[in-house]
Structure 1
Amino acid sequence: MGVDLKKLPWELIEEILSRVPPKSLVRFRTVSKQWNALFDDKTFMNHHRMTFRFILATESMVYSVSIDPVIVNPWLGHSRWIEPSLKHSGMQFEGIGYDNKNYKIAASSPRNKDDLWTIYDFASDVDDDDWVYVESVVSLNGTLYWVCSHDETVPLCYHIRKFDFSSGLFIRFCDLPCGRNHNSSDALVLRVFRGDRFSLLKQCMVTKKIEIWVTVNKINHEDGDDVVWMNFMTFSSPNLPDLVDTVTYTDPSYFIEDKRLVVCSWDNTGYAWIYILGDNKLISKNRIDCVVDPWPLHCTFVPSLVPVPARCRREERAELHV
């Protein structure tokens, strides 16, 4: 028996639609003007309940991996190619953010001790440069945040810096609750928690102990003085996996789902693994055998309703200053 949508409260319709996969929502835009407007509403986008996944990129393919794990294609097929200039050899993607005008992408190119920080305007291909060292970058509400340390202090003082696309400024934001015990060998990975807070994964390379820290309150991007951290999870049981391979020392990707920690990382032979941890133990581990290329790139992926902006015509390109 069908349901008369006109008799349902609008709040209930929003709740139902918040649980529908993005690929279906794209088709539902034609149902009504009200539905079409809802899918462009930032509040609905932020509260749309979607499953975390991992993206694995090999030399030949891009995969979306659920924690079952099942290999599937990403839900939305929007794409946008940005051509780096010749001066940006070895360009590495750092993160996507936005200001009040447009989406932007940050990338880095190695230059001696520091990286060349490059900002690309999605709609125009305009880019500009600055110099900064970055690692473990996350995007929250259009602002990029990353882990930093002071080389001149012993022990090293770890903190978070931010880059605001609107102001074009690099600013120290807040301190981290912990640092590395063994220089660059330990995992220290910053991520977004529950949509508006930070989480931090640390694994000691020697003991294999894993700690998850989260911020108590939602992040106010204008002021990091009130950021308070709490220990959310600790795993110290035997036989924990090495989340940082000893060949490349590449950080793992991870997300937190309820009381479980889900991690994607390589082993020392280049195979990608999905680990699920809970109740202070390793619950399961699965090797992604169908990804034949070794050492695939990987990152945390949350399916999004936000479309990738189309390229402007050359005469409509906007200037971008960093």
Structure 2
Amino acid sequence: MVPEEKLPCDLNLIEETLFRVPPESLVRFRTVSKKWNALFDDKMFINNHKMTFRFILATNSKFYSVSITPKIEVRELTLDIPGLESHKLKVLIDCNGFLLCGMDKEAVVWNPWLRQARWMKPEVNDQPILRFNGIGYEYDNMKREGSGYKTLVSHPNELATKSVWKIHDFASNSWKDKELVISGSNGITLLATSVTLNGILYWVASYLQNNSSFVLVYFNFSNEKVHKFSDLPCGENHHSDVIVLRLFMEDRLSLLKQCHLTKKIEIWVTKNKIKNCRSGDVEWMNFMEVSTPNLPGLVKPSYFIDHKKLVVCSCDETGQAWIYVMGDNKLISKIQIDSVVDLWPLHCTCFPSLVPVPRSRSQTKEAALQV
């Protein structure tokens, strides 16, 4: 038996080796031992892996990953999704390690780290244009069956007060219409893209179109209802302000606001973990402010918080993509992503995950028969 005091060194050696193993191989190693399985769920291990990245950018013909280590490195990703190159992407959403690549009438769910993908196509050919809002899951079904992933789909430019939306079920590969009603509101418009936390979708929303009355709302797949979550923590807002919702520390929410006049950036985060979606449990705190001369105006930015630094991907007025690093109330660095030739790329944060793209029940049975 190996002496107890030698185990940490051996484990460190194993980790150093596994940092270099391709992600698709790591999934197969989960069954080696409980320690290895726990290691692959450790976010620090994933962050230290040589193939870890923080942003995904999509142009008309190519995908790129952007690593911050802290050196910024851009890699072109292999398009291992047959048929995707012939479609024009409309949305790119990070959903807990999955990417939702939405088009006019269909979408691809992709785990670029594992190089796994799955198409979602409507049941009828004459389906009107759709907007794919995000991937969540029914929490009880996840615990009981290890499944339950679903996608919420809406029609562009429709209010969420009383609209027929669609829900796609990954397990059954079926679609159903759902009338979403928000009681007590005169109509809201969901702004930008959703954030998924504990299977629930969250958005910044406006009560009236082109109005400055913003709130946070959420959609729960377990009861298929939309509710108000909380008021925005950043006070009075203008409809031209940049407001983006993201995750913080993987179990909290963060909110970025940039004033359209002063270009000042404020970051707010929830003080405690979001264990459920009851607004009474929410307490926001001001986490960071950046207000310096020549601060760029952000255009549909994606961002993440790294300790006390804010890392932002955004386009300038010409459509060229940049990475900005901010902290201590100043712009620390900015780097133009020269390798992305096309202007105005779609982009989002993306934290690698070893969770496989969910299959349908028929795909699961077919795979079991092939083993």
**Same fold by TM (over 0.5)?**
yes
User: Which residue does the alignment assign to 2:237?
Assistant: 181
User: Which residue does the alignment assign to 2:153?
Assistant: 107
Please report how far the alpha carbon of residue 220 of structure 1 lies from its aligned counterpart in structure 2 after TM superposition: 2.2
Partner Cα separation in structure 2 for residue 5 and residue 82 of structure 1:
52
Q: Secondary structure at the match of 1:230?
A: strand
Please report how far the alpha carbon of residue 160 of structure 1 lies from its aligned counterpart in structure 2 after TM superposition: 1.5
Residue 69 of structure 1 aligns to which amino acid in structure 2? I
Query: Is contact 1:45–1:306 with CA below 8 Å preserved after alignment?
Result: no
User: Which residue does the alignment assign to 2:97?
Assistant: none
- Greater CA deviation, 98-107 or 114-123? 114-123
Q: Secondary structure at the match of 1:268?
A: coil
| Distance 1:146-1:294 versus aligned 2 partners, 3 A rule | same
Please report how far the alpha carbon of residue 280 of structure 1 lies from its aligned counterpart in structure 2 after TM superposition: 1.0
| Distance 1:61-1:221 versus aligned 2 partners, 3 A rule | same
**For structure 1, which runs of at least 5 residues remain unmatched after alignment?**
245-250, 317-322
| Displacement over 6 Å in runs of 4+ | 4-7
Residue 137 of structure 2 aligns to which amino acid in structure 1? Y
Match of 2:135 among 96, 99, 109: 96
Q: Is 1:79 equivalent to 2:113 in the alignment?
A: no
User: Which residue does the alignment assign to 2:172?
Assistant: 124
Residue 66 of structure 2 aligns to which amino acid in structure 1? V
Partner Cα separation in structure 1 for residue 13 and residue 228 of structure 2:
38
Partner Cα separation in structure 2 for residue 18 and residue 123 of structure 1:
37
Please report how far the alpha carbon of residue 103 of structure 1 lies from its aligned counterpart in structure 2 after TM superposition: 1.5
Match of 2:294 among 239, 244, 259: 239
Query: Is contact 2:30–2:36 with CA below 8 Å preserved after alignment?
Result: no
Match of 2:281 among 215, 220, 226: 226
Query: Is contact 2:24–2:115 with CA below 8 Å preserved after alignment?
Result: no
User: Which residue does the alignment assign to 1:57?
Assistant: 58
Partner Cα separation in structure 2 for residue 200 and residue 32 of structure 1:
35
Partner Cα separation in structure 2 for residue 42 and residue 121 of structure 1:
30
Match of 2:255 among 200, 204, 207: 200
Partner Cα separation in structure 2 for residue 5 and residue 145 of structure 1:
49
User: Which residue does the alignment assign to 1:151?
Assistant: 208
| Distance 1:289-1:270 versus aligned 2 partners, 3 A rule | same
Partner Cα separation in structure 2 for residue 285 and residue 260 of structure 1:
13
Q: Secondary structure at the match of 1:70?
A: strand
Which structure shows the higher helix fraction? 2
Please report how far the alpha carbon of residue 61 of structure 1 lies from its aligned counterpart in structure 2 after TM superposition: 1.4
Q: Secondary structure at the match of 1:264?
A: strand
1:252-294 deviation line (CA, Å, top 9, x unaligned): 1000001110011112222111111111111111122221222
User: Which residue does the alignment assign to 1:44?
Assistant: 41
| Distance 1:290-1:43 versus aligned 2 partners, 3 A rule | closer
Q: Secondary structure at the match of 2:361?
A: coil
CA RMSD of aligned residues (A): 3.5
- Greater CA deviation, 199-208 or 290-299? 290-299
Q: How does 1:160-309 map to 2 (within 5 A)?
A: 160-178=216-234, 181-183=237-239, 185-244=240-299, 251-309=300-358
1:106-157 deviation line (CA, Å, top 9, x unaligned): 23331445586432222333122346632241000111111123239x862x
**For structure 2, which runs of at least 5 residues remain unmatched after alignment?**
78-111, 142-146, 181-188, 366-371
Partner Cα separation in structure 2 for residue 267 and residue 149 of structure 1:
26
User: Which residue does the alignment assign to 2:185?
Assistant: none
Residue 306 of structure 1 aligns to which amino acid in structure 2? V
Partner Cα separation in structure 2 for residue 186 and residue 19 of structure 1:
46
- How many aligned positions are there? 303
Q: Secondary structure at the match of 2:33?
A: helix
Please report how far the alpha carbon of residue 159 of structure 1 lies from its aligned counterpart in structure 2 after TM superposition: 2.1
Matched-pair identity in %: 47
Q: TM-score, normalised by structure 2?
A: 0.71
Please report how far the alpha carbon of residue 17 of structure 1 lies from its aligned counterpart in structure 2 after TM superposition: 5.0
Partner Cα separation in structure 2 for residue 19 and residue 161 of structure 1:
44
